Amino acid sequence: MNTRLRLRLRSRSRLRLGVALLLVSLVAPLLAYRLPWNTVNSGGRPGSATGYAMNGSVGQVVQGAGSATGYDGAWGFWPGVWTFATGTIDAGVTFILEPSGVVDTIAETPKSTVRNYGTTTRDVPAWFEIRDSLRTVVYLQSAVAPSLAGGEEATVSFPNWDVPNDKEGRYYAASWTALTGDNYPANDTARSQFAVEAKQQDPPCWVACPDVPEGAQRNDVGSGAALATDPGGLCAYLLKGNNTCEFCRFDPATAGWVALDPIPEQGRSGQKRSVKDGGTLAQVGGRFYATKGGNSLEFWEYNPLDQPGNRWTQKADVPSGASGVHSGASATGVSFGITGHVYLLKASGTFEFYRYDVGRDSWTAMATAPGQTGEEFKTGSCITGDNGDTIFALKGIFDKYYAYVISTNTWLSRNDLPLGPDNKHAKGGAAVCYHLRNVYCLKGSNSQEFWVYDCDGDSWYQGPDVTLGPHKSRVQDGGALVYCSSTRYLYATKGGCLEFWSYGRLSNFINGAMSSGQVALNVLTPYRLDVSPSVVTGRARIDFALPEAGNVELVIYDAAGRLAKTLVRGTKQPGAYRASFAGSELARGVYVVRYRSGDYQAGGKLIIE
């Protein structure tokens, strides 16, 4: 290549570079808010002042004595993108104050706290949304936190919400800021859950319902009686026991009983068997599963969608083990997604514990129920599930109480059921059922005692005695207990009579611990994330809460979006928690805290100094 050609190419390259620099110098400022540069006269130099930003660096300006607007000067062209900086723009909702817990069916004023994380005083617009249990938007309003200084937090009240008096249930709230140019949208939104229900003014009490029908054999409810409810918690289903095959349904909406197909007396063995001591009933996926007891191994399924007269089907027998199914047997249904199981505590003087797979029609022996020889499960034993990963078991006569963890197939000891003022042990007629972190218990044993176990506190409280009623009947063989979520009542049989009782109205959304006949109500813990202090020089404290059991992830990311620290990752029970760490564990800078549980997500900002 000759010298002339090389010079020509070099000149063209320089020309292209000059044109590129000119375009960057002229076009970029026009695209960035159309702000011109300042001409710098002799003696001027780049300095720093609030107002302009160049190349993303806040505060750099071109200034000097006698500066004037223009695109030339002693400094020539300074390529870069110019913007107008107004300080850090960042705001977010830190907490939803109202509605929270359980809301009565009256007008509510939604409230949330808004924080200006930025450095400049500004009006911060915010929104508040409420969705019903079907996630339909039922409320959407906005408000403004006026003149909120940097680092300041204020409570924002939104227009009143007329709480519906015909749609009780769970609701979902979200509140967020809508600040133009927000630098950190991850911390804009806070979410929570609450409930709407017409609150009961008086403590729950026992109320008589219509008696169980006599049936063709005119038998009382007796040994082997068991109660269950459908998936919607609409009705109570009763296997009557007492050497009958009767099966019936109580509909709280009509306060009436309906006779259903009786469980077949004759099974595939050809023997005729009615339901006796050891009868059980459990529901999974809308179908009901029953044992007959009486030392039988028969196991039956009831499908309410089949044609009348053909709704019962005999399934695989309970494993024989050391005994048939009789005294103290109890069952509960557990559903996980599309799969379902029936867990059966055989009792009957054994420690046998089984799981039935409803899809495969097969039984599996699970971890042996706890206890020493001579302390087998017998009369008065019963189990109930928490609709999650735990089954609670009461050992009759010995009053021992246990929790079985499904995921690990292990048994854990819990505090024993107290003897109570009458020194009564749990015996015939004892029954348990679960509702919202409480296990309710009829002690049976021809007593009126009614107890409540607080799952979180591992403690027992005695509730109001079951009412004697006109026949002066106490709870004995044939006692059974179930909770129906549609009405928020417990329903109970006493055994030895046809009496049927309700206890409530219990809330679907609050915990109740009974003492001296009263119910202490602790409102639902809403989802919450609170980072304190936001500027850390010593230890950082992060408080979070969740209203229901679930997987929790609490992590910290740096400004570049890289994972800096994992604080919590795993399953948590409902409640409030605190995570803390030393600020020295992280380098100085700005971090984002992310909290996630189920479909709830929240974020917060943390500055390490």
Q: The domain that contains 392 carries what CATH number?
A: 2.120.10.80
Q: Evaluate whether residue 476 is within a structural domain.
A: yes
Encode pLDDT of 541-559 as tens digits: 787 877 777 888 888 888 7
pTM of the predicted model as reported, rounded to 2 decimal places:
0.60
- Same domain as 369, residue 286: yes
| 450 inside domain | yes
Q: According to the model, what pLDDT value does residue 296 have?
A: 95
Residue 594 lies in domain? 527-609
Mean pLDDT (the chain) is 81
Partner residues linked to 53 by β-bridges:
58, 83
Same domain, 420 and 334: yes
Between 25-39, 190-204, 297-311, 473-487, the lowest mean confidence (pLDDT) is in 25-39
- Locate the DSSP E strands across 303-437: 312-314, 330-336, 339-345, 353-357, 362-365, 382-385, 390-395, 400-405, 410-414, 431-435
Residues 404 and 486 in one domain: yes
- For tokens 């004697």, what's the residue? 468
Task: Choose the final residue of a domain: 34, 69, 84.
Answer: 84
Pairwise CA distance, residues 248 & 333, whole Å:
19
205-221 pLDDT per residue, tens: 899 999 999 988 899 99
Classified as helix, coil or strand, 602 is strand
Mean pLDDT of all residues in 423-430: 95
Structure tokens given for 206: 């026992």
Average pLDDT over residues 315-334: 95
Say how many domains are in the chain: 3
Higher pLDDT, 417 or 519: 417
Examine the domain organization and report whether 294 and 393 are in the same domain: yes
Q: What is the pLDDT of residue 517?
A: 31
Tokens of residue 595, six digits: 């909290």
Q: Could you tell me which of 250, 278, 222 has the C-alpha nearest to residue 490? A: 250
Are residues 532 and 447 part of one domain? no
Inside any domain, residue 226: no
Say what the pLDDT of residue 56 is. 33
578: domain CATH number?
Answer: 2.60.40.1930
Q: Which of 456, 487, 516 is the last residue of a domain?
A: 516
Domain co-membership, 509 together with 533: no
Check whether 129 has a pLDDT greater than 60.
yes
CA dist., res. 50 & res. 45, Å (int): 16
Q: Which tokens belong to 38?
A: 């300042």
CA end-to-end distance (rounded Å), the chain: 60
State the Cα–Cα distance between residues 381 and 502, nearest whole angstrom.
Answer: 22
pLDDT at 186 over 70: yes
Same domain? For 489 and 552 the reply is no
Q: Tell me what pLDDT residue 229 has.
A: 95
Give 183-251 as a DSSP string: S-GGGSEEEEEEEE----SS--EEEEEPPPP-TTTTPPB-TT-EEEE-TTS--EEEE--SSB--EEEEE
Classify the C-alpha dihedral 447-465-513-599 as positive or negative: positive
What residues does 136 pair with on adjacent strands?
none
Name, in order, each residue with C-beta under 8 angstroms of 555's C-beta and a sequence gap of 6 or more: 563, 565, 566, 567, 569, 593, 594
Q: Is residue 242 part of a domain?
A: no
pLDDT at 80: 39
Query: Given this model, what pLDDT does residue 162 score?
Result: 86
In this predicted structure, the answer to whether residue 195 has a pLDDT above a threshold of 60 is yes
State pLDDT tens for residues 217-236.
Answer: 899 999 999 999 998 888 99
For tokens 């202090």, name the residue.
533
The residues near 562 (Cβ < 8 Å, ≥ 6 apart) are none
Least confident segment among 135-139, 211-215, 402-406, 579-583: 579-583
Residue 67: how many CB atoms within 10 A of its CB? Answer: 16
In a domain, 488, yes or no: yes
Q: Is 566 inside a domain boundary?
A: yes
Residue 350 domain flag: yes
d(CA 201, CA 176): 35
Phi/psi-derived region of residue 31, left when phi > 0, alpha when psi is between -120 and 50, beta in every other case: alpha
Of 307, 290, 257, the residue nearest 493 (C-alpha):
257
Taking residues 387-412, report their average pLDDT: 93
Looking at the fold, whether 512 and 531 belong to one and the same domain comes out as no
- pLDDT (mean) for 234-254: 94
Q: What is the pLDDT of residue 509?
A: 52
Distance CA 135, CA 193 (A): 12
Residue 431 has pLDDT above 80, yes or no: yes
- Whole-number pLDDT of residue 93: 92
pLDDT band of residue 528 (cuts 50, 70, 90) is confident
Residue with more model confidence, 202 or 149? 149
Of 167 and 511, which is predicted with more confidence? Answer: 167
Q: Mark whether 357 and 443 lie in a shared domain.
A: yes
According to the model, what pLDDT value does residue 4 have?
52
Q: Across the strands, what pairs with 541?
A: 532, 580
- Percent of residues, the chain, with pLDDT higher than 70: 80
- Same domain for 289 and 320, yes or no, is yes
Do 413 and 462 reside in the same domain of the chain? yes
Least confident range of 141-150, 154-163, 380-389, 518-527 = 518-527
Determine what percent of the chain is predicted with pLDDT higher than 90: 49
Rounded mean pLDDT, 454-458: 87
Q: Per the structure block, which two tokens stand in for 121? A: 């005083």
pLDDT digits (tens, 9 = 90+) for 406-415: 989 999 999 9
Worst-scoring range by mean pLDDT, 112-121, 306-315, 598-607? 598-607
Domain closes at, from 63, 84, 105 = 84
Q: How confident is the model at residue 288 (pLDDT cuts 50, 70, 90)?
A: very high
Q: If you average pLDDT over residues 232-251, what whole number do you get?
A: 94
Looking at the predicted structure, is the pLDDT value of residue 403 above 90? yes
Q: Judge if 474 and 549 occupy the same domain.
A: no
Is residue 47 scored above 80 in pLDDT?
Answer: no
Which residue is listed with tokens 């008086």?
202
Residue 101 lies in a domain: no
- Top mean pLDDT of 131-135, 377-381, 537-541 is at 377-381
Per-residue tokens: 500: 């049927």
φ/ψ of residue 359, rounded to 5: -80, -35
